[in-house]
């Protein structure tokens, strides 16, 4: 994998345009699973819509309070073909809440997946239908979140104990929409580390028609570990995740959990169809640019100046619509991780008083200051 700098080697000649992305939404995953001419997994051959395995090569994980539409927009600017996921939205929120607030996204975000949390097949079908109507490209079911709140609602990771119910949920959602319905799950529950558990889980859901699995490659411990500890303490078992790809060769298996560098992703992509980055994309979004260059060297990406200017213009529009600046800039904080002056950048963009009284141009000002910080 080339060791390119995320932004600096990209000059202003770069003009990013979504039209360079040949992605078209609303593919019918069920329509065809035959390999296409290049031997890749071809999801649809109806001539109208088409998603291929390539569309899941680089994914940004769903993260509550992180991957809102502003951060997703930023990630899109950095990595034109990465697949971005929403924060988990519960079926309850979609039944009783403000739909536009939960579902609206920027058209530039495509390909963008809606992650649902729930366990009632009819409610999930309803949520999936709304997601498809809103224009999402994929509906993903959360079977990996271990929080107590989620367990009370009997969804998230505890669903892995009832693969038959997950199969019913997937079937109901697939019947409701013609976009891919995918599942994000763990390898097991509590301290059961037998591979057979996840193989049978995936097998049951596969039989219900699911062909795309995002595997957070560790167990979820339902009692005694916080959600944060559940992302670190249970050991990663990439080998068991890779066995799923061997046992379900015509499914796409996307690896998630603990991927923090381009080299790790490169290695994972030898055994998996894609990688999904969570905290690494949050703490160091520029890594998405490095990965984008490695995966799709033909893609023209915007340079740093254009990135900052474009995001600032975006922020100004959002502010004019009433979105507070501190919400819009959250995803930017890690942008210059490891670079001289990054601490000042972070401080400026997280200073609540400053953010309250500033215009969007605070972003450009903070960036100029970073540029003038002596190396």
Active site residues: 145
CB of 316 to ligand FMN, least distance (A): 27
DSSP 211: -
Ranges of H-type helices in 89-158: 91-96, 99-103, 121-134, 148-152
Of 269 and 366, the one with the shorter C-beta distance to ligand FMN is 269
CA separation for the pair 197, 261 (Å, rounded): 29
* Contacts (Cβ under 8 Å, ≥6 apart) of 127: 89, 91, 94, 114, 116, 118, 139, 173
Cα three-residue angle 48-54-57, rounded to 5 degrees: 140
For ligand FMN, the closer CB: 111 or 144: 144
The nearer residue to ligand FMN, 157 or 308, going by C-beta atoms, is 157
- Interacting residue ranges for ligand FMN, rule: CB under 6 A: 61-66, 87-88, 115, 142, 144-145, 184, 216, 231, 256-259, 277-280
Q: How far is the CB of 178 from ligand FMN (least distance, A)?
A: 23
Number of other residues whose CB lies within 10 A of the CB of residue 165: 16
Least Å distance, CB 141 to ligand FMN, is: 9
Are 150 and 133 in contact, with CB atoms under 8 Å apart? no
Q: Shortest distance, CB of residue 158 to ligand FMN, whole angstroms? A: 13
User: Is 182 buried (19+), middle (13-18) or exposed (0-12) by CB count in 10 A?
Assistant: buried
Nearer to ligand FMN by C-beta: 259 or 262? 259
Residues 6+ apart with CB under 8 A from 33: 41, 42, 43, 211, 250
Q: Which residue's Cβ lies closest to ligand FMN?
A: 278
Between 129 and 279, CB nearer to ligand FMN: 279
As a whole number of angstroms, the distance between CA 238 and CA 243 comes to: 9
Angle (CA) 143 145 148, round 5°: 125
Least distance between ligand FMN and beta carbon 197 (Å): 18
Taken in order 19, 3, 55, 123, the sign of the CA dihedral is negative
Q: Which lies closer to ligand FMN via its Cβ, residue 66 or residue 325? A: 66
Least separation in angstroms between residue 145's CB and ligand FMN is 5
CA distances from 198 to 27, 190, 219, 293 (A): 27, 13, 10, 33
Nearest-10 crossing angle of helices 362-371, 304-320: 160
């Amino acid at each position: 994998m080339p060791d390119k700098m995320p932004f600096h080697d990209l000059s202003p000649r770069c003009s990013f345009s979504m039209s360079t992305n040949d992605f078209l939404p609303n593919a019918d995953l069920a329509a065809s699973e035959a390999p296409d001419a290049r031997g890749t997994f071809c999801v649809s051959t109806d001539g109208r819509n088409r998603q291929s395995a390539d569309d899941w090569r680089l994914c940004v994980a769903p993260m509550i309070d992180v991957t809102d539409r502003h951060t997703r927009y930023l990630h899109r600017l950095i990595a034109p073909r990465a697949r971005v996921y929403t924060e988990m939205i519960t079926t309850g929120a979609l039944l009783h809440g403000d739909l536009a607030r939960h579902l609206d996204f920027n058209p530039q975000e495509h390909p963008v997946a809606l992650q649902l949390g729930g366990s009632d097949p009819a409610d999930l079908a309803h949520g999936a239908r709304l997601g498809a109507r809103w224009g999402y490209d994929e509906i993903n079911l959360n079977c990996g979140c271990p929080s107590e709140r989620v367990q009370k609602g009997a969804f998230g990771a505890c669903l892995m104990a009832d693969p038959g119910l997950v199969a019913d949920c997937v079937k109901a959602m697939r019947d409701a929409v013609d976009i891919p319905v995918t599942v994000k799950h763990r390898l097991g529950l509590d301290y059961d580390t037998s591979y057979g558990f996840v193989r049978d889980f995936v097998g049951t859901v596969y039989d219900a028609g699911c062909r795309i699995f995002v595997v957070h490659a560790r167990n979820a411990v339902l009692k005694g570990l916080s959600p944060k500890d559940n992302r670190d303490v249970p050991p990663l078992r990439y080998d068991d995740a890779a066995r799923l790809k061997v046992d379900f060769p015509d499914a796409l298996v996307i690896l998630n959990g603990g991927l923090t560098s381009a080299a790790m992703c490169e290695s994972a992509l030898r055994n998996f169809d894609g990688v999904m980055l969570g905290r690494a994309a949050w703490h160091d979004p520029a890594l998405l640019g490095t990965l984008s260059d490695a995966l799709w060297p033909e893609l023209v990406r915007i340079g740093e100046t254009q990135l900052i200017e474009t995001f600032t213009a975006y922020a100004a529009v959002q502010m004019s619509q009433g979105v507070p600046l501190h919400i819009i800039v959250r995803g930017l904080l890690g942008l210059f991780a490891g670079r001289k002056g990054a601490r000042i950048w972070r401080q400026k963009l997280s200073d609540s008083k400053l953010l309250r009284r500033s215009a969007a141009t605070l972003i450009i000002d903070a960036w100029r200051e970073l540029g003038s910080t002596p190396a």
